């Protein structure tokens, strides 16, 4: 099965870094991911620089990219002001972010969930006027740092409200990495039944080491689109204790081992992940960055021989 991976390292991956990352490093990170096979990116975020200083150079990062025409560039657009900034850039898709739970919405956007949905209506209208695609991103779809497990009814209510605004694609964010496979299965299958015309993307974090198990749950329900960050970097400034995204190189290794296609070169991903570790000056969470080299390109061959 062909799997599409969105690289989010330069946005979700870097937004929580305590030390400013140079614009040139962000651009090189994206260029290196392209070299490894990435064709879809969540590049940056048009949030207030006061709220997330790491994303203050959003325009400069997009302007500095030299990527093939088939590369899709997304930018996070939380409100109309951000959309007006994004409209002056080359970002083809606007990721409209909101929180599913009331507590996280207040912490992240200083408004209720219903107010957050209402704020996105003019963003969607501007996106259509500018010929851009609006994509919804539902933070805390599985768990909230303040309220615990997110009720399924709340996820469905928010998703229906977003669909009423015209969103045909939604990212389900496991913002704090608490999702388990059975919860992913129930949430995804319920959304598929309630909104069959909506495309779903899984955005998973690896706080408790279950991200790849959750990918397996998604695959079993036909989900073919996932998000990840090189080296497993990331975290939410408004979700205490949240750790990084599933590492792109770990996700690609897992998918290849299971017989799926991604278009990525695993060796290059590991090489570029180690480069990123050097740039950030620390060991990154990605497991393959610390693992010994893989001798076989088809790691399941031995298992198949053993059981066949």
Query: Where do we find the tokens 């060796």?
Result: 267
Q: Count CB atoms within 10 A of the CB of residue 284.
A: 22
Query: Residue 203's beta-bridge partner residues?
Result: 173, 227
Q: What is the CATH number of domain 4-307?
A: 3.20.20.70
Helices (H), 16-151: 23-35, 58-63, 80-86, 102-109, 113-130
Strand, coil or helix: 174: strand
pLDDT number for residue 16 = 86
Which string of b and e fits 57-93 if b means at least 16 CB within 10 Å?
Answer: bbbebbeebebeeebbbbbbbbbeebbebbbebebeb
pLDDT number for residue 292 = 79
pLDDT number for residue 308 = 42
- Catalytic one of 96, 111, 144, 236: 236
199-204 and 225-228 strand pairing: parallel
Q: What is the DSSP letter of 230?
A: G
Closest CA to 65 of 48, 41, 86, 88: 41
d(CA 306, CA 299): 12
pLDDT digits (tens, 9 = 90+) for 55-86: 999 999 999 999 999 999 999 999 999 999 99
Query: Where do we find the tokens 């298992």?
Result: 303
Is 236 among the catalytic positions? yes
Distant-in-sequence, close-in-space partners of 59: CB < 8 Å, separation ≥ 6: 85, 88, 89
pLDDT number for residue 301 = 42
Q: What is the DSSP letter of 67?
A: -
Contact between 144 and 176 (Cβ < 8 Å): yes
Q: Count CB atoms within 10 A of the CB of residue 154.
A: 17
pLDDT number for residue 297 = 46
Query: Where do we find the tokens 């050097």?
Result: 278
pLDDT number for residue 96 = 97
Distant-in-sequence, close-in-space partners of 17: CB < 8 Å, separation ≥ 6: 54, 233, 280
Domain boundaries, given as residue ranges, for the chain = 4-307
In this prediction, the residues of the chain whose per-residue pLDDT falls under 50 are: 296-308
């Amino acid at each position: 099965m062909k799997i599409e991976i969105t690289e989010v390292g330069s946005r979700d991956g870097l937004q929580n870094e305590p030390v400013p990352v140079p614009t040139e490093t962000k651009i090189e990170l994206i260029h290196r991911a392209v070299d490894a096979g990435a064709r879809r990116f969540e590049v940056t975020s048009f949030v207030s620089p006061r709220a997330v200083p790491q994303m203050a150079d959003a325009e400069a990062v997009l302007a500095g990219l030299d990527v093939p025409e088939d590369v899709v560039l997304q930018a996070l657009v939380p409100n109309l002001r951000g959309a007006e900034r994004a409209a002056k850039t080359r970002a083809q898709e606007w990721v409209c972010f909101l929180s599913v739970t009331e507590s996280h919405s207040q912490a992240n956007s200083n408004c209720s969930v219903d107010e957050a949905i209402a704020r996105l209506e003019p963003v969607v209208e501007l996106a259509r006027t500018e010929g851009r695609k609006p994509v919804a991103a539902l933070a805390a779809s599985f768990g909230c740092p303040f309220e615990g497990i997110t009720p399924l009814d709340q996820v469905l209510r928010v998703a229906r409200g977003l669909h009423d605004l015209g969103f045909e694609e939604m990212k389900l964010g496991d913002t704090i990495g608490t999702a388990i496979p059975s919860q992913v299965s129930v949430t995804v299958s319920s959304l598929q039944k309630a909104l069959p015309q909506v495309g779903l993307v899984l955005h998973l974090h690896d706080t408790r080491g279950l991200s790849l198990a959750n990918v397996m749950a998604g695959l079993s329900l036909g989900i073919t689109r996932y998000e990840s960050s090189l080296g497993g970097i990331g975290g939410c400034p408004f979700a205490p204790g949240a750790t990084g995204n599933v590492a792109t190189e770990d996700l690609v290794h897992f998918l290849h081992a299971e017989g799926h296609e991604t278009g990525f070169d695993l060796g290059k991903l590991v090489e570029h992940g180690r480069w990123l570790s050097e740039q950030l000056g620390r060991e990154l969470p990605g497991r393959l960055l610390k693992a010994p080299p893989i001798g076989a390109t088809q790691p399941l061959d031995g298992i198949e021989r053993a059981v066949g």
